[in-house]
Structure 1
């Protein structure tokens, strides 16, 4: 399987190094408008470097492309790849509005290619175990969930993150991980209420989800934290509760703002205590789905649903009111 990458920033590097560890997968091309980034990744991997996606399409042959570009460019390059007959692995969020997301899904279907979306939390072992505990009934009926995801502001490294029209802000870029996980683990969402405060170098959000089964989740996301990236989840049910806290593995944490002398080329990437990288597990799974024609753990429709909840949260932030979601069929299904 020949793969290529468009976008050689932090996630492009993660994808590239993951592919390098996979048997029977060859990374043949990497491209970025910042050609220096493409050249640096080429030196690490041996893949050819290109200054544009069009040049890479014309000069090398590949089966799959990872779209690891800023979020506002996901639609444009997914459509280009689909029209060229290439399978697409797109980083989350799928898009920054539902119309673009639907167009991406439709184009991939019409061109007979697969579309996978990098909701990588489904591949973190601690989150998989929480999902299994719920499915096996160990917690009984889920009642209340608390989840948080906080870290430094990626806009300090990549300024486009500070432009909500390009990144979607902390809800669309960061909190969407927990939105997708909880929809997968707990069920469909009935209503959404959101608060979001942005000031200077901080972007803080608090969102409450009410699920169709009656469970309630409070989600917190924060960019601007002067310390390492961290996550925590607590799920309480009628028979017990389960907790995961990425900071509990060490007894002492000293948090400070990075000094101006520290060179930071890329935004930080969440890590897992597991032996295998969740990103490598995710990408290997997507490649296997292409080879076997099997259904992925996270589908393009799942990514659309996560974005739908995200858009409801952003609407609630603007209106100050809860937003109620209407049950909708899977994309591609005909309505009666």
Structure 2
């Protein structure tokens, strides 16, 4: 058992009481980060698995629950970390907002549909609760320096950015698209065209997942974002930003490589260290000592909207102009409408195996 802050004499009367809902890997990560902050104390954890709840509770000297509603009612949490699967995240967020919590830090993706994301935002707005979603790549030294270089004009006006990944749009693509927007300076997206395939019965934490995905996103100013996931080789070098006067890309060991008209060759740039993470910024936001949170709910909703727009483009076989009007998950709609028939039968979950996968 880890010695708690209360036993260490660190727990102050003015510190924030933190509850964790979802005691898997990310629940443990949130608990560790909150425990490292002098302003926060993890007091309770909840999970449908009693074993998982007790294990995390023992590690952080917290009270375990198998009923998250009971935890919210009894513990008077100031901060709630919601690290459940995305298919129940909206329901849990609404309950946490109604409980009197001051702030909620959820995991990515924000939800499993745009309608759910809007429900989360509406509930938090109604109850005066601050909501942020854990797109933590906005806090990496590499991405923060890349954003600074782009916004300072190191490559002129940005024209295109490429991102490539695997393991599903809602799973990993949410990071890639959010990272794309952040590095480009958060330009407003204008339209999306996308394509998906789903010949296998693929799921990701009990939410349907496509087999392959590709998209082009048009941002204000004519910037194009190209995203692809799970496509066959040869692979795209998905770490490049092009501009009217240069190119910026990832370098070795967390560095950056810059080529522009001011130098005759590639420049190697070492990003400065980052002093604030998403948990620090969340605390400052609650304190009123910060201007906001770079992962706030509205920003996360935009990432959610882009992912749903990619699915919707595949569904209607046309460009989708934003804002997106479809609230349901268009991938679910395509499957239920028979537009994506399974050719290789046998359901499987790439993150949380179904019972039949373990037999």
Shorter-chain TM-score above 0.5: yes
Change (3 A) 1:46 1:223: farther
Does residue 220 of the first structure (1) align with residue 228 of the second (2)? Answer: yes
**Bigger radius of gyration, 1 or 2?**
2
CA distance in 2: counterparts of 1:29 and 1:297, whole angstroms: 27
Residue pairs, 1:144-293, within 5 angstroms: 144-150=160-166, 153=167, 170-186=168-184, 187-200=187-200, 203-222=211-230, 232-244=238-250, 248-249=252-253, 281-292=277-288
CA distance in 2: counterparts of 1:34 and 1:300, whole angstroms: 28
CA distance in 2: counterparts of 1:49 and 1:274, whole angstroms: 41
CA distance in 1: counterparts of 2:230 and 2:42, whole angstroms: 35
Is the contact made by 2:20 and 2:31 (CA closer than 8 Å) also made in structure 1?
A: yes
Q: Secondary structure at the match of 1:4?
A: strand
Instruction: Tell me the TM-score normalized by structure 2.
Output: 0.71
Aligned to 2:83: 68
Aligned to 2:99: 84
Please give the root-mean-square deviation of Cα atoms over the aligned residues, in Å.
Answer: 2.8
Residue pairs, 1:317-336, within 5 angstroms: 317-326=314-323
Does residue 127 of the first structure (1) align with residue 143 of the second (2)? Answer: yes
Is the contact made by 1:232 and 1:243 (CA closer than 8 Å) also made in structure 2?
A: no
Q: Which runs of 5+ in 1 are unaligned?
A: 154-169, 226-230, 251-272, 329-336
Is the contact made by 1:203 and 1:224 (CA closer than 8 Å) also made in structure 2?
A: no
Change (3 A) 1:275 1:142: closer
Is the contact made by 1:2 and 1:27 (CA closer than 8 Å) also made in structure 2?
A: yes
Aligned to 2:29: 14
CA distance in 2: counterparts of 1:236 and 1:274, whole angstroms: 19
CA distance in 1: counterparts of 2:53 and 2:272, whole angstroms: 29
Question: What are the Cα deviations for residues 182-204 of structure 1, in whole angstroms up to 9, with x where unaligned?
Answer: 23333111221212234557833
Change (3 A) 1:54 1:325: closer
Query: How far apart are residue 129 of structure 1 and its match?
Result: 1.2
Is the contact made by 1:171 and 1:221 (CA closer than 8 Å) also made in structure 2?
A: yes
CA distance in 2: counterparts of 1:249 and 1:299, whole angstroms: 29
Is the contact made by 1:203 and 1:222 (CA closer than 8 Å) also made in structure 2?
A: yes
CA distance in 1: counterparts of 2:97 and 2:157, whole angstroms: 42
Which of 1 and 2 has higher RCO (CA within 8 Å, sep 6+)?
A: 1
Query: How far apart are residue 51 of structure 1 and its match?
Result: 0.9
Instruction: Tell me the TM-score normalized by structure 1.
Output: 0.76
Question: What are the Cα deviations for residues 52-77 of structure 1, in whole angstroms up to 9, with x where unaligned?
Answer: 11221243232110011110111101
Does residue 59 of the first structure (1) align with residue 71 of the second (2)? Answer: no
Aligned to 1:40: 55
Change (3 A) 1:105 1:315: same
CA distance in 2: counterparts of 1:118 and 1:191, whole angstroms: 25
CA distance in 1: counterparts of 2:285 and 2:131, whole angstroms: 11
Is the contact made by 2:76 and 2:100 (CA closer than 8 Å) also made in structure 1?
A: no
CA distance in 2: counterparts of 1:172 and 1:224, whole angstroms: 19
Change (3 A) 1:199 1:18: farther
Query: How far apart are residue 307 of structure 1 and its match?
Result: 1.2
Q: Secondary structure at the match of 1:235?
A: strand
Change (3 A) 1:36 1:277: farther
Is the contact made by 2:213 and 2:231 (CA closer than 8 Å) also made in structure 1?
A: no
Question: What are the Cα deviations for residues 68-120 of structure 1, in whole angstroms up to 9, with x where unaligned?
Answer: 11101111011101111112111122222222212211111111111111121
Aligned to 2:39: 24
Is the contact made by 2:76 and 2:99 (CA closer than 8 Å) also made in structure 1?
A: no
Out of 112, 131, 144, the residue aligned to residue 96 of structure 1 is 112
Q: Secondary structure at the match of 1:71?
A: coil
Does residue 304 of the first structure (1) align with residue 280 of the second (2)? Answer: no
- Single out whichever of 294-303 and 76-85 deviates more from structure 2: 294-303
| Number of residue pairs the alignment of both structures matches | 280
Aligned to 2:354: none
Change (3 A) 1:55 1:30: same
